[in-house]
Amino acid sequence: MAQQQSKDFLKQFKLNAGITEDEFMKIWRNYDADKNGYIELKELEKLTDDLLNSGKGDLSRDNMDLYKKHILKICDGNDDKRLNLREMQSLFIIKDPSPSNNAALKQVFLGKFRSKTGVHSVDFIKIWKKYDTDGNGYIESGELDKFLGDLMKENYKTDGTGSLQEYKKNILQFFDTNRDGKLDIKEMFELLPIEENFIAKFKGAPMTINNFNRIFAHYDKNNDNTLDGDELFSFMKDFMENSGGDVNAKEIESYTKQMTLLLDKNKDNVFQKSELRELML
């Protein structure tokens, strides 16, 4: 019975004609079964099964495996064998609401914002630290109000007095995966249009001096041949994630301190190329 309900789930959506942002989020929450912010291989297999068999006859396991590989090839931008929310969106046609539907227009804001050109990961850390004003590793209610107020002024030239709380409600609904009423760094990362993990681009390739230099240059945004502050925090976040795990801001901070004690030979609290090379080569 449960298996049949799963196969019937997608039949309620007219996928070829496009779906609304709200309908997409229902699909996302249905298949992100462990609520970790990714559609991983087992979840993707279930989604693939339902997509192929929704309103059709059962297809062979070989066909489903080929389709799953095709989905990953097309949508998995950082080649980590799973889909984040933005990658999952590319599987579906997300249609704009009618201009007369004000409530829907407010919701589509989220999809439009996420589709913009990727923000550099170092700039994301600057944003994160600006709004995590108490430094506790979360964007909590008042901090989220400030973030949204600034965002609406920047994108809509308005203070958003009448709609800020509705935006806030939608953002928490869409991105607060553990329903604790605040955003951790991973949830905030999914909300903003951030570039994919740069270090992940080299996954499976030998870490040569040339590849190391490319990675270092990417995070050294001010071109001073060192990584410190936001640059170092951004690098450590991507390095830890690429090493196999979802991390929070406090874990990144703790790991950065440990690596500084271990590798910062001249104790200047910045990483020279030669110091950071010991971590990666």
Domain with CATH 1.10.238.10 in the chain: 2-89, 117-191, 199-280
Contacts of 242 (CB under 8 A, 6+ apart): 197, 199, 200, 203
Predicted pLDDT at 117: 53
Residue 21 Cα distances to 78, 122, 205, 256, 270, angstroms: 24, 29, 37, 37, 43
Q: Which CATH class is domain 117-191?
A: mainly alpha
- Residue whose pair of structure tokens reads 């990961």 in the numeric block: 121
Query: Hey, what are 69's tokens?
Result: 């590989």
Is it true that domain 2-89 has CATH number 3.40.50.720?
no
Residue 182 is predicted with a pLDDT of 94
pLDDT of residue 181: 92
The pLDDT value recorded for residue 96 is 57
| 232 class by beta-carbon count within 10 Å (0-12 exposed, 13-18 middle, 19+ buried) | buried
Contact 9, 47 (CB under 8 A): no
Confidence (pTM): 0.63
| pLDDT at res. 165 | 77
Instruction: Decide if 220 contacts 157 (C-beta within 8 A).
Output: no
Amino acid at 57: G
Burial label for 227, CB within 10 Å (0-12, 13-18, 19+), is: buried
Return averaged pLDDT per consecutive 10 residues of the chain, 281 residues in all.
52 74 82 82 86 59 75 81 81 62 44 59 92 95 90 59 70 83 89 85 90 96 93 94 84 93 89 90 81
Angle between helices 121-131 and 141-156 (to 10 degrees): 120
> Hey, what CATH class is 199-280 in?
mainly alpha
Q: Name the amino acid, one letter, at 84.
A: N
